[in-house]
């Protein structure tokens, strides 16, 4: 085994880039730690400038304007604000929301909350590969539909949706479109001018930035009611004193993502394909979950029939390989993955899914070692 564990869980979170940590440090100590961006004195103005500069950097990642970025405390909060804030701000009679059945729980639980408040919610099922069809969403559209939320790429199986076509159809019916791009922003070019969404959620810790900060891009003119109140921060979209250090880190991470994204995507996708090939050797019934080609460069989700995912995970962890079963925030649950069930897997196979997600620091040596350990564990569990 390697001296330190092999980390293959970048979809859950990424390690903080040293350049990001350096950018954050002055705002955690010394003069930078004094300033509240809402204060008009010297230190407040320093903090405000830092936040504004970071807003420019995050906007650049999306080819957007700085005024369209609202900082939040996480990607989850950005999703909450997109759904709850938009639905609560909708015109009377526009109380219908459409979401896919494979959304992150940040979206699904927001939809459930709205349903308890009296809104009408429709869930759209994907096909076997995790794709949401334009026709299935169109069939669910109503005159009272206010918002449709379909994630750009799934965090468990990596399937990438045709967001532009979905958004165009939704707009033709007079509704708004939101996408959770938390997983895609670190690996794919996202241009708000061509993606044609009205709201886009992203966060820092998936792109080698700090935890505890996210952002919601809001198309000008889109009405969103705040879900956290108590101050006029973030253009009255999100009350609370801004976390200056984390926001600065987000800005730096966004800039570094623009510099490294294309090269990272090519290298990581090659390693992912290598990993799939190695895992498949000796396990002829290994099942790939998600679309075979329209998937994130770093994502590989597989099931081994007859072996529970939790058992595989525990054994891999004992051998120093860090991976996930479904979404990290629900990995403590014994319930089968809602995503794998939604694409038609049986409860046993949906409980057997293991997600490998690779990143900037992943090496070929680590991929080969992880595959070898995986084979040994499967062989032992089957015999």
What residues are labeled active site?
329
CA distance 121 to 109: 11
93 Rama sector, left if φ>0, alpha if ψ -120 to 50, beta otherwise: left
**Which residue in this structure is represented by tokens 């979206």?**
107
User: Quick check: 347 and 334 in contact, CB under 8 A?
Assistant: no
103 Rama sector, left if φ>0, alpha if ψ -120 to 50, beta otherwise: beta
Q: How many angstroms separate the Cα of 186 from the Cα of each of 10, 95, 120, 265?
A: 11, 33, 33, 9
User: Quick check: 99 and 120 in contact, CB under 8 A?
Assistant: no
Q: Which two three-digit tokens encode residue 252?
A: 């730096």
Residues in the chain: 383
Which residue in 162, 146, 17 sits closest to 86, CA to CA? 146
Contacts of 284 (CB under 8 A, 6+ apart): none
Contacts of 123 (CB under 8 A, 6+ apart): 99, 100, 101, 111
User: Quick check: 322 and 7 in contact, CB under 8 A?
Assistant: yes
User: Quick check: 118 and 327 in contact, CB under 8 A?
Assistant: no
- DSSP string across 230-271: SS-HHHHTS-S---HHHHHHHHHHHHHHHHHHHHHHHHHHHH
CA distance 322 to 192: 34
Q: How many angstroms separate the Cα of 183 from the Cα of each of 262, 322, 353?
A: 15, 19, 19
Other CB atoms within 10 Å distance of the CB of residue 330: 16
Which residue in 301, 329, 99 sits closest to 203, CA to CA? 329
């Amino acid at each position: 085994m390697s001296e330190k564990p092999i980390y293959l869980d970048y979809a859950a979170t990424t390690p903080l880039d040293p350049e990001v940590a350096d950018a954050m440090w002055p705002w955690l100590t010394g003069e930078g730690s004094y300033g509240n961006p809402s204060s008009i004195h010297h230190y407040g103005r320093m903090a405000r400038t830092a936040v504004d500069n970071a807003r420019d950097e995050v906007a650049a990642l999306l080819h957007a304007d700085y005024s369209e970025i609202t900082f939040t405390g996480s990607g989850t909060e950005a999703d909450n604000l997109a759904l709850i804030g938009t639905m609560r701000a909708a015109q009377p009679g526009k109380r219908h929301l459409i979401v896919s059945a494979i959304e992150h729980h940040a979206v699904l639980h927001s939809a459930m909350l709205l349903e308890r408040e009296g809104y009408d919610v429709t869930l759209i099922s994907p096909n076997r590969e995790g794709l949401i069809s334009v026709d299935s969403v169109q069939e669910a559209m109503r005159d009272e539909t206010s918002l449709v939320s379909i994630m750009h790429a799934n965090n468990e199986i990596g399937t990438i949706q045709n967001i532009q076509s979905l958004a165009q159809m939704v707009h033709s019916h007079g509704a708004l479109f939101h996408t959770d791009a938390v997983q895609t922003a670190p690996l794919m070019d996202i241009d708000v001018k061509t993606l044609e969404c009205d709201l886009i959620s992203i966060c820092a810790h998936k792109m080698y930035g700090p935890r505890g900060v996210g952002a919601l891009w809001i198309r000008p003119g889109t009405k969103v009611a705040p879900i956290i109140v108590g101050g006029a921060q973030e253009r009255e979209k999100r009350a609370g004193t801004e976390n200056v250090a984390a926001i600065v880190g987000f800005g730096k991470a966004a800039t570094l993502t623009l510099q490294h994204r294309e090269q990272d995507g090519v290298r990581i996708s090659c390693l992912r394909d290598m990993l799939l090939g190695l895992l498949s050797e000796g396990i002829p019934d290994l099942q790939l979950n998600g679309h075979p080609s329209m998937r994130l460069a770093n994502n590989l989700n597989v099931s081994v029939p007859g072996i529970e995912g939790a058992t595989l995970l525990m054994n891999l962890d004992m051998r120093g390989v860090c991976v996930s079963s479904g979404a990290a925030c629900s990995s403590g649950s014994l319930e089968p993955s809602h995503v794998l069930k939604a694409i038609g897997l049986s409860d046993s196979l949906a409980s057997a899914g293991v997600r490998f997600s690779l990143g900037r620091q992943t090496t070929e040596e680590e991929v080969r070692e992880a595959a070898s350990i995986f084979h040994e564990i499967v062989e032992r569990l089957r015999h």
